[in-house]
Amino acid sequence: MAQIDTNKKGDGHRQRLREKFFQNGLAGFLDYEVVELLLTLNTPRRDCKESAKLLLNRFKTLQGVFEANPEELSRVKGVGPANIFGLKLIKEVADRYLQKKIIHQDVISNSRDLIDYLRHAIGQRTREVFAGIFLDAKNRVNGLEILFQGTLTMSAVYPREVLIKALEHRAASVIFAHNHPSGDFSPSPEDIAITRRLLFACRHVGITVHEHVITGNSGFYSFADNGYIAEFNREFEKNG
């Protein structure tokens, strides 16, 4: 009986995946197929479907695969250093692409690109991070930085450090953002207190706080839309 050349069979499958991508982009792709397609770039002549499914099974979502650290990825059968490099590279390239879309753009008038960037860059992280988006007098983005990492508390977020970064970027205004790894993006009392504290500190040196966004797996929470920014500004102006 003639033996099936499994290498040729695998080549045919990955070629079909690539043709499907060129025809319609990622429309119609399952998440494991997206991961499989990426794995094939650094895996010559081996079927990557099993490894792709194992990655999705272990890390639950496509975002989870991209956010997993190299050590965790290496524990998955069939995933080697070259595959890990490819997965981490594509995540960083996507972050850079979305960041470039908002640099020097007015994100107050058109906030969608900013929200897309924040959800992609920090929304899927397994640790809390707190970011500053620094704007010029025309509300164009001058810079973006992760300012703090770890669970947010009053003792962990330092207004002085925020102001130093804002002045370095010559910011006229700022937007704050952080993620909730739990996926629940409703604000905690600590989040509200931190927002008030930072707004007061910025107002004392003439820097406007436009917004604080909390992002999670499936959405975001806007302090401005929910009235907190206006309320804190009224309180600052009343108390001087």
pLDDT tens digits along 76-89: 999 999 999 999 99
- What is the Cα–Cα distance from 123 to 127, expressed in whole angstroms? 10
At residue 119, the 3 state secondary structure works out as helix
Give the side-chain half-sphere CA count within 13 A for 198. Answer: 35
Q: What contacts 131, CB < 8 A, 6 or more positions away?
A: 118, 121, 122, 144, 145, 146, 147, 176, 177, 178
Q: What type of residue is 80?
A: G
Confidence category of residue 5, pLDDT binned at 50, 70, 90: very low
Q: Above 70 in pLDDT, residue 8?
A: no
55, exposed or middle or buried, with CB in 10 Å at 0-12, 13-18, 19+?
buried
pLDDT tens digits along 116-172: 778 777 877 778 889 999 999 998 888 888 898 876 665 578 899 999 999 999 999
Percent above pLDDT 90 for the chain = 45
In this structure, the chain runs to a length of 240
Write down the pLDDT at residue 153.
60
How large is the C-alpha radius of gyration of the chain? 22
pLDDT tens digits along 116-127: 778 777 877 778
pLDDT tens digits along 181-215: 887 888 999 999 999 999 999 999 999 999 999 98
Residue 224: name the closest of 135, 111, 145 by CA. 111
What's the average model confidence in pLDDT over 31-40?
90
**In this structure, which topology does domain 103-239 adopt according to CATH?**
Cytidine Deaminase; domain 2 (3.40.140)
Q: For the chain, give the longest Cα–Cα distance.
A: 89
- What is the Cα–Cα distance from 210 to 203, expressed in whole angstroms? 11
Q: Above 50 in pLDDT, residue 1?
A: no
- Computed over every residue of the chain, the mean pLDDT equals 85
Write down the pLDDT at residue 67.
81
Q: Where in the chain is the domain with CATH 3.40.140.10?
A: 103-239
Q: Is this model's pTM higher than 0.75 or not?
A: no
